Amino acid sequence: MSILESLTPRAGLRVLVTAGAGGIGAKITQGFIEARGKVHISDVDADAVAAATGGGVTGTVADAGAEDAPRRLFAEAREAMGGIDVVVANAGVAGPTATVGEISAEDWDQTLDVNLRGAYLAARFGSPDLIANKGSFIAMSSAAGRLGFAYRTPYAAAKWGIVGLVKSLANELGPQGVRANAIQPGIVEGPRIDRVISARAKELGISFEEMKAQNLAKVSLRRMVSPEDIAAACLFLCAPGGSNISGQAISVCGNVEAI
């Protein structure tokens, strides 16, 4: 195998992507399909799942943070693909934008349930397949998972937790041939970050464009990350060239200096 060939996942890889019907998840799904893999997605939006399936993509309507849903999701994924080689725990929510004194316990719990508990459940129900197939577990952290994030404490706490989760999984499952890594995106283009910027701008009493400019001023490359950038990192981690990468939190962020 050439070095160039080692940068592409092998054909036929069976991949489960949570929140795979839109945004970053949709690009991850697209990437593995382009690499001649099979993908099973989950999403809470039934219409989005229906629109995203077909052409090698199957799907389940499921809430990543609810314990009964992942059990059904993984059973349906195994049936659809004949097994699972890769789990991408991509489901996440932005959570509230407010001071810690204003954030309710309900909002805190909901943010951690989707972002951190959902990743744990993906690891819990996916680990038998990953052990059997010497597979790869990838979870979405964030630049907030290495820097902290004022006014976004539940989100940052969950994303720091993701790093602890994958490092622990790498230690625990590595002897059985399983790799576990986190990806830490920076400011990713799309409607979700636009909502976050709008909420913070409102808190500060400034315009959306002013808030966006302030955010990009903290990024060394002065630009946002694309969902395709994140998908490319996922593909590399599942390619032969990434086969010795485990227990890492990999930043794909343009070098976010501060948040």
Residue 155 is a catalytic residue: yes
Q: Residues near 4 by Cβ (< 8 Å), separated by ≥ 6?
A: none
Let me know: does 65 contact 92? Beta carbons within 8 Å: no
Candidate list 32, 108, 149, 155, residue with the active-site label: 155
Q: Residues near 178 by Cβ (< 8 Å), separated by ≥ 6?
A: 127, 130, 131, 134, 135, 136, 137, 169
Spatial separation of the C-alpha atoms in residues 123 and 93, rounded to whole Å: 18
- Report the greatest alpha carbon distance in the chain: 56
Q: Residues near 119 by Cβ (< 8 Å), separated by ≥ 6?
A: 89, 91, 139, 140, 162, 165
Report angle CA 48, 81, 173 to the nearest 5 degrees: 100
Read out DSSP for 144-180? HHHH--TT-HHHHHHHHHHHHHHHHHHHHHGGGT-EE
Radius of gyration of the chain (CA): 18
Spatial separation of the C-alpha atoms in residues 16 and 39, rounded to whole Å: 6
Residues assigned a catalytic role: 155
